[in-house]
Amino acid sequence: MDVTSDAPRRPSSRNSKVELESSSHIKVWRPRVPPQILLLDLLFAVALVCGAAFALSKYHAHMNYYDRLVLVFAIPALTMLGWRWKPSRILIVGIAALSMFAIHLYSDDLGRADQTFFLRYFLSSQSAILWMSALFVLATMFYWIGMLSRSLSAGAIASKLTWSAVLIGFVGMMVRWYESYLMGADIGHIPISNLYEVFVLFSLITALFYLYYERHYNTHALGSFVLFIISAAVGFMMWYSVSRDAQQIQPLVPALQSWWMKIHVPANFIGYGSFALSAMVAVAYLMKDKGVLDDRLPSLEVLDDVMYKSISVGFAFFTIATILGALWAAEAWGGYWSWDPKETWALIVWLNYAAWLHMRLIKGLRGRAAAWWALTGLAVTAFAFIGVNMFLSGLHSYGKL
């Protein structure tokens, strides 16, 4: 007779605990994000709101309705950026703190740029942009050293140099904006009005996108390629400033005296920066595909993914910029489209990347063909960016090289 067949089993302590928990209908909410991080996120959002309120109260006389609207909408955008990409919070706070410190040192006197130590050597717009340029070149060197020697410390130093360059570069742009108003209320404008200024913007945006991908994919290898084109842009900017004295702040030409410029140009250069980044990743893809630096570069799948994401982001912003440009043209020249050389080449750039994305999504474009196409797109984009100014003329002749 089996005496254990009908005997009730005594539950183990672990099973009884599970049964007790399942029998009780009490649900304990546990946040997925630790309270400390939630508190920091909240403090960051509050700091942005306070900063925007301060800017509105102090500089509202220099802002029209649209400027204030852009500032208000920038708060949730920067908040979401800081929440999703934590390192950007330090960057945003650093830019604000250093910019306000520089403005405080000026004390409404432009002449203090040559009298105050920190302004003269670090925080005036020209000093800050020179520091940015030097840091980008140093970062490029360290990225190459790190990749060729497989040195993790060199790659980490390169990344920190790039972050520093982005920080001081944006501070230089903010201070340059303030300096233009110190020169005169009729001269003051956002510093994105000539080739010198937009090359600074291009370098900063391209570097910022690269830093995001570097952290997301946990690799420093692509910095050697992306920082190379940024260093090339810095070299052109230095040549242009020496040959044309372009670093000097100039009054806006009448065609640019519009609030449209403040949103059209940044959107445009987010597109240009993303396209340039995708082209340099394409170079890395083609080199790895040929077996060059094969063991030092990320996988072809990662390179392909970065290339695709960069073109997608660039295309979205370039589309927005093209629409904004058409609206600006309607206000300035009375028509949405005039087949001006700059407009025509902007359309060619848009069609090129629209075709790339179409082939990618519909036909499954991958591999060497996608990489060569992305690299060729850099030539098309470069001509639209610089070549039109050098060789063609039209309604955009105020930007002539």
Q: Tell me the percentage of the chain whose pLDDT exceeds 90.
A: 66
Query: Token pair for residue 348?
Result: 């060619």
Query: Token pair for residue 31?
Result: 């946040």
> Residue 63 pLDDT more than 90?
no
The tens digit of pLDDT for each residue in 17-27 reads 444 444 445 55
Question: Span 43-52, mean pLDDT?
Answer: 94
Q: Which of 278-287, 339-348, 384-393 has the lowest mean pLDDT?
A: 384-393
Query: Token pair for residue 156?
Result: 């980490």
* Residue 370, pLDDT score: 96
Confidence band (pLDDT; 50, 70, 90) for 395? Answer: low
* Residue 22, pLDDT score: 46
Cα gap 97→176, rounded to integer Å:
15
When computed from its CA atoms, the radius of gyration of the chain, rounded to whole angstroms, is 26
For CA atoms 326, 327, 329, 330, give the dihedral sign. positive
Query: Token pair for residue 13?
Result: 């302590």
pTM of the model: 0.88
Confidence band (pLDDT; 50, 70, 90) for 1? Answer: very low
Query: What integer best gives the mean pLDDT of the chain?
Result: 88
* Residue 31, pLDDT score: 55
Query: Which stretches within 185-290 are classed as H helix?
Result: 195-217, 223-244, 261-289
The Cβ of residue 337 has, within 10 Å, a number of other Cβ atoms equal to: 14
The tens digit of pLDDT for each residue in 337-367 reads 888 888 899 999 999 999 999 999 999 999 9
CA dihedral of residues 89, 92, 97, 98 (deg, nearest 10): 130
The Cβ of residue 235 has, within 10 Å, a number of other Cβ atoms equal to: 14
CA atoms within 13 A on the CB side of 325: 22
Which single residue is written with the structure tokens 């029998």? 23
The tens digit of pLDDT for each residue in 191-209 reads 998 889 999 999 999 999 9
Cα gap 131→232, rounded to integer Å:
16
* Residue 68, pLDDT score: 86
* Residue 329, pLDDT score: 86
